Structure 1
Amino acid sequence: MEHLKIFRWLLDVDSIWPVPIGASKSAQSTAHWATVKATSHALALLTDGERAKALRFYRPSDAKLSLGSNLLKHRAIANTCQVSWSQAVISEGANKKPCYKPVAPSCKSLEFNVSHHGSLVVLVGCSGEDVRLGVDVVKMNWDKDYNTVMKDGFEAWANVYESVFSDREVKDIAGFVPPTRGTQQDEIRAKLRHFYAHWCLKEAYIKMTGEALLAPWLKDLEFRNVQVPLPASRMNASGQSGSDWGQTCADVEIWLYGKRVTYVRLEIQAFREDYMIATASSSLEVAFSAFKELDVERDVYPFQER
């Protein structure tokens, strides 16, 4: 598998397909948003089912993520499998995980996974069927979580997630001591970032397996030595200063049923101030490429539509 490489894409939909300036609050619906020329053009590139799914969201912000997710899937299939846009059909595999099913055994195949949160859509992919992939992007919800922690305490807040994490992980999350001292607000923010790092890593691993957060072995999957990646703003000049991309951490230990898992590549990277992205691969031999930030007009839309 030396010739393989895992590509990673990021699309920020925040400024794409905007709702018209000056529109009244009642017009901020997805139905109104869909009539805008740029939006209707993008929606027309989806299948009827994909378009209907996107338009079921009440808020345009959610519809944008659905639209962007499907566009990235089509582009990844078309590029990797060398098929036309109309032939880049998104199917469902086991556990309804999106996949591409080649029309013939001789055709190229693709493994991919997508995640979206906030205004970001991320996709990871690799040619062939030898590697399984999972990705998760998470945006920290500072205000909501901070208020809850201040009201109930951090330990009580962490215990809400005891069905997702092992007993050791819950204890680790609840008892985390930030490496640097600061104000009470700084301490809580650091503890929340540590929690979100745990969450992001677990999601990526589970998605790699094709399971969901209802997997019966969820509490038997445990992450130790979880490092929280620093955002770019806190890195020194030698570490991507001036970039949106922060630190990458790849030293996490994976344990399942009490045994160390050593055959999975797993890393987490900070993006801007509030995002973290975790990527999981079933192969240690295939390298991760750096994330590529895409321009929807230049990099995503079908060539004849640009």
Structure 2
Amino acid sequence: MVMNGPKVFRWVLDVELLWPTPPDGTNGLQPSAREATARWASGKESQYALSLLTPGEQAKVLRFYRPSDAKLSLASCLLKHRAIATTCEVPWSESTIGEDSNRKPCYKPSNPEGKTLEFNVSHHGTLVVLVGCSGGDVRLGVDIVRMNWDKDYATVMKEGFQSWARTYESVFSDREVQDIAHYEAPEHDDVQDTIRAKLRHFYAHWCLKEAYVKMTGEALLAPWLKDVEFRNVQVPLPTSLVVDGAPEVNLWGQTCTDVEIWAHGNRVTDVQLEIQAFRDDYMIATASSHIGAQFSSFKELDLEKDVYP
């Protein structure tokens, strides 16, 4: 594939250690989730970050019950503002985040001659991912998933993998459900490793479909969801499974690009789609409506240096 299309930048921000909650002053009593988020928002670092958002965005962040969810929402807003301000060369105060007709976040410059930006954001676990591209000639979608090993493994062992897979029949086509339910994982000595391989295959399906759907601007409730299916889904391996030595030196694993997209029985050939492993439990899928888009490597951002104005 000749990469002569638009340049797509890709950012990752880990919020795990950002905006800590101030010490608990409740004399050991367990606060409610709402109280925990309010206490988190009272911290000096949280207050500064929140001050960079509009009142409406602040309210949206503070509607979350758990501080962990509020942090992801806060980071998502900050990355959108940074992407708009940097790419479109406008002051932070003018990096207004809007919504299109499908309620997909977008940027509409107040000046008709101003630069535009196509972007999409996803978050899961402690990571927030943003992909973006200058101009409006391409549509982008991104999704990140974090495997919930303990919860999923317990459910699979109780119900059986095929039964567990069929709980997602509303999202996947009949063929996809069969592919997931009957996936033959590479042989492992440990049954847990076999189940993990099957779960990674499921999450790869989920991540790819979500990225594609987000690219179109519609949600997983799209009426045509089951009519779009992914075939030849390859599962990107984390670095720890493909290299010897110290995988912590490079946390990015394999990238897979050979997935086939089919819609209403016809092969879709005008979408570029890839999925990459990160750490041992994350996968990130990127979708572009432009074949030949130049996907950058993912850049892990530093809040102070790369995000704050």
Following TM superposition, by how much is the alpha carbon of 1:182 offset from its aligned partner in structure 2, in angstroms? 2.5
Matching of residue 289 in structure 1 with residue 286 in structure 2: no
Matching of residue 38 in structure 1 with residue 77 in structure 2: no
Partners of 1:105 and 1:285 in 2: CA distance: 28
Partners of 2:244 and 2:108 in 1: CA distance: 45
Contact 2:53 2:78 in 1 (8 A): yes
Contact 1:239 1:247 in 2 (8 A): no
Change (3 A) 1:18 1:151: same
Contact 2:146 2:282 in 1 (8 A): yes
In structure 2, the partner of 1:280 is 287
Q: 1:234 aligns with which of 226, 241, 244?
A: 241
Partners of 1:132 and 1:237 in 2: CA distance: 38
Q: 1:26 aligns with which of 16, 31, 35?
A: 31
Q: 1:140 aligns with which of 147, 151, 156?
A: 147
Q: 2:278 aligns with which of 264, 271, 278?
A: 271
In structure 2, the partner of 1:198 is 205
Change (3 A) 1:249 1:238: farther
Following TM superposition, by how much is the alpha carbon of 1:2 offset from its aligned partner in structure 2, in angstroms? 4.2
Change (3 A) 1:27 1:17: farther
Contact 1:245 1:272 in 2 (8 A): yes
Following TM superposition, by how much is the alpha carbon of 1:104 offset from its aligned partner in structure 2, in angstroms? 2.2
Partners of 2:136 and 2:229 in 1: CA distance: 27
Following TM superposition, by how much is the alpha carbon of 1:95 offset from its aligned partner in structure 2, in angstroms? 1.1
Partners of 2:168 and 2:5 in 1: CA distance: 41
TM-score w.r.t. structure 1 length? 0.95
Q: 1:92 aligns with which of 87, 91, 99?
A: 99
In structure 1, the partner of 2:160 is 153
Partners of 2:129 and 2:264 in 1: CA distance: 30
RMSD: 1.7
Change (3 A) 1:145 1:284: same
In structure 1, the partner of 2:87 is 80
One-letter code aligned to 2:15: V
Partners of 2:223 and 2:79 in 1: CA distance: 31
Give the % identical residues. Answer: 68
Cα-to-partner distance string for 1:233-267 (whole Å, 9 max, x where unaligned): 11125997721111111110111111111111100
In structure 1, the partner of 2:120 is 113
Partners of 1:296 and 1:78 in 2: CA distance: 15
One-letter code aligned to 1:134: G
Following TM superposition, by how much is the alpha carbon of 1:26 offset from its aligned partner in structure 2, in angstroms? 2.0
Change (3 A) 1:238 1:258: farther
Number of residue pairs aligned between Structure 1 and Structure 2: 302
Partners of 2:210 and 2:161 in 1: CA distance: 22
Following TM superposition, by how much is the alpha carbon of 1:3 offset from its aligned partner in structure 2, in angstroms? 7.1
In structure 2, the partner of 1:66 is 73
Cα-to-partner distance string for 1:114-168 (whole Å, 9 max, x where unaligned): 0000000000000000010000000111111111111111111011000100000
Please state whether the residue corresponding to 1:96 is helix, strand or coil: coil
In structure 1, the partner of 2:13 is 11
Q: 2:228 aligns with which of 221, 234, 251?
A: 221
Please state whether the residue corresponding to 2:122 is helix, strand or coil: strand
Change (3 A) 1:178 1:21: farther
Q: 1:298 aligns with which of 276, 288, 305?
A: 305
TM-score w.r.t. structure 2 length? 0.94
Following TM superposition, by how much is the alpha carbon of 1:105 offset from its aligned partner in structure 2, in angstroms? 2.0
Unaligned ranges ≥5, structure 2: none
Partners of 1:180 and 1:21 in 2: CA distance: 48
Contact 1:69 1:114 in 2 (8 A): yes
One-letter code aligned to 1:186: D
Cα-to-partner distance string for 1:22-65 (whole Å, 9 max, x where unaligned): 66542871100111100100000000010001011111000000
Please state whether the residue corresponding to 1:291 is helix, strand or coil: strand
One-letter code aligned to 1:84: P
Please state whether the residue corresponding to 2:115 is helix, strand or coil: coil
Change (3 A) 1:237 1:146: closer
Matching of residue 207 in structure 1 with residue 214 in structure 2: yes
Q: Which moved more, 1:13-22 or 1:120-129?
A: 13-22
Partners of 1:201 and 1:239 in 2: CA distance: 29
One-letter code aligned to 1:75: R
In structure 1, the partner of 2:182 is 175
One-letter code aligned to 2:7: K
Partners of 1:138 and 1:229 in 2: CA distance: 13
Please state whether the residue corresponding to 2:286 is helix, strand or coil: strand
